Structure 1
C-alpha cells in the first residue's frame, strides 16, 4: 500500500512535468523503510504491553518474531533501530535535496510512526489510529512524494491523495472490527470500539463509497479521466459492501486466510484492486499526454 501511495505522488508529479527519478526512488525507499519500521514498533509496543501473543489476531495473519519466539527482544529492537535509521537517512537526504519543508512531511509521519502504538501514549488505543492512517497514506505519502520532487504542492494534490487514503483506512477499520472482542478484553479503544460493531461496519462502507466519490471529484476538477479507471473495481466494492452489511459469520463457508479475521480480508482485496487501477489509469493518462505532446 505504501508503494501505491508513492506511485500516485510520482505520477501526479509526472503529469505536472516535475518528476525527478532519483528523488522519487529516495522518497519511495524512505517511505517503505518508515512503514516497515512502524510495523516493527507496533509489534514491539503491543508485545511489551502483553497484547501480542502466539494466539493473538496479529500473530494469525503474518510473521511476528516476538510473539512466535523466533527473535529475541534485543535482536528485534536492533532490527527496528536499523530500519528506522535507514528511513531517517533517506529523509535527511531528501531535506538536503529538496529543502527544509520536506521536514513537515517527515515529522508528521514520524509522529504517527512513534505514537501509533508506542510508549507512553498510543494513538491506536484512543481511537486515533484510523484518522492517522488516512493522514499518512493520503496527504503525507502522496503529497510528500510530490513535494520531494517539485518543492511545492498544489492544493489539488491534497485532495487527490484522499481516495486511496480512504481505501487504506477501510482496511484498518476492517481489521479492528475483526479484533473487537480481543481489544475489548485488553482495554484497547480503537475507532470500531468507540462506534460499536454495527456502526463501524457502516462507517467502513462509507469510507469505501467516499473513495469513489472523491476520485470522481478529482477527475472532473483536474481533468484526470485516467483516475476513472478505478471504476472497474466497483463490482469488487459492491461485494465488499454486501459483506459489511452483516456481522461476521460463526464459521466461513470456505477457508479464509487468517481466520477468525474476516472483514479485513475483503477490505484489503478491494483496496489492492482500487489502488492498482488508480495507478494504472493515471500512468496511462500520463503516457497518452506525453505521446500527444510529441506530435
Structure 2
C-alpha cells in the first residue's frame, strides 16, 4: 500500500518544487535577507502543493479518460486500480488541508496574521491550491485547453521564486525575475515532455495540450526554445550582478541540459521520452544548488 501511494505522489516531480523555493531562498541570502523558518515552511508548503497537484492530476485524468488503457506513459494509480477513486479523492482533501495549514504557518512567521500582505499571499496560496486541483478536474479543466504551460511557468517560476524571496525580504528586486523565469521555464519543460509522451492518449481524450495542438516535431522545437531561454535568463542575471565565475560553475549543468536536448530530439517513443522527465527535473535542482552555492561564495 505504501508503495502505491509513493508512486501516486510521483516523487520524481518533487525536485521542481524544491528548485523554485531553493532559488528564492538563495536569492534572499544573496541580498542579505535569508530566514531559516521561511525557507523550511516554504519548502514544506510547496511539497504539499506538488503532491496535491499530482494526486489531483491522477484523479482527474482517470475521470476524463486521459489515463485509459491506451496511455503509453507509466500507469496511474486510479487507472490501474492500485488506489481506489474514493481513496484518491480523500487524499486530495487531506493534502489540500495540509497545504493550507502549512501556508498559514508560513505567512504567520513571515508577514504576520492580518496584514495586507498576509491577505495578498493568502489569496495567492488559495489560487495555487485551486490551480493544482483544477488542472484536470472540473467541467472545464484548464490542462485540457493547453493552459498548463502558463500555469506551471507562473507557479514554479515567477510566483514561486519571487514569492519566496518576498517572504524572506519583505521587499522585491526586479532582477530576480530573470532566475525566476529560468525555474519556470525548466519546469514548463518537464510538463512539455510529459505532454509529448502522452500525445496519442491525450488527443483521444480531448486533452489539447500544446504538443497535441502543434505535433511532436514542433513540440521538440518548442522544448528547445524553453530550455535555452531558461539558460539565457540565468546568464543575463549573472552578468548584470557581476557573478561571472558562476557561469563557469554551471558549465556541468549546461552540458547536462545540452545532452538532454540531444536526447529529446532523437526520441520518438514514450519509452524514450519518459526518462527525460526525471533527468530534466534533477538537472534543474542541481542547477539551482550550484547557482546558489556560487553566488553566495560557499
TM more than 0.5: yes
> Is residue 41 of structure 2 the alignment partner of residue 29 of structure 1?
no
> Is residue 285 of structure 2 the alignment partner of residue 265 of structure 1?
no
User: What TM-score do you get using the length of structure 1 for normalisation?
Assistant: 0.85
Structure 1 position 54, deviation (Å): 5.6
* Aligned counterpart, 2:220: 201
1:274–1:46 CA distance, 2 compared to 1 (3 A): closer
Q: For the residues of structure 1 that align with 2:128 and 2:143, how far apart are their CA atoms?
A: 15
- SS for the counterpart of 2:143 is coil
Higher relative helix content? 2
Equivalent of 1:85 in 92, 97, 102: 97
Q: For the residues of structure 2 that align with 1:104 and 1:158, how far apart are their CA atoms?
A: 21
Q: For the residues of structure 1 that align with 2:244 and 2:277, how far apart are their CA atoms?
A: 25
Provide structure 2 residue ranges, at least 5 long, that are not aligned to the other structure.
Answer: 1-15, 112-117
> Is residue 261 of structure 2 the alignment partner of residue 241 of structure 1?
yes
| 1:177-221 Cα deviation digits (max 9, x unpaired) | 111111111111001111222111101011111111111101112
**1:60-209 alignment, distance < 5 Å:** 60=75, 64-97=76-109, 98=111, 99-209=118-228
1:158–1:138 CA distance, 2 compared to 1 (3 A): same
Q: Tell which has more relative contact order, 1 or 2 (C-alpha 8 A, sep 6+).
A: 2
| 1:48-99 Cα deviation digits (max 9, x unpaired) | 2233246634544xxx332222222222211221111010011122333313
Structure 1 position 35, deviation (Å): 0.7
Q: For the residues of structure 2 that align with 1:22 and 1:158, how far apart are their CA atoms?
A: 23
Q: For the residues of structure 1 that align with 2:246 and 2:278, how far apart are their CA atoms?
A: 20
RMSD over aligned Cα, in angstroms? Answer: 2.1
User: What TM-score do you get using the length of structure 2 for normalisation?
Assistant: 0.84
* Aligned counterpart, 2:239: 220
Q: For the residues of structure 1 that align with 2:223 and 2:156, how far apart are their CA atoms?
A: 16
Q: For the residues of structure 2 that align with 1:101 and 1:94, how far apart are their CA atoms?
A: 13
1:226–1:277 CA distance, 2 compared to 1 (3 A): farther
| 1:152-181 Cα deviation digits (max 9, x unpaired) | 222122222111221121111111111111
- SS for the counterpart of 1:125 is helix
Q: For the residues of structure 1 that align with 2:229 and 2:42, how far apart are their CA atoms?
A: 28
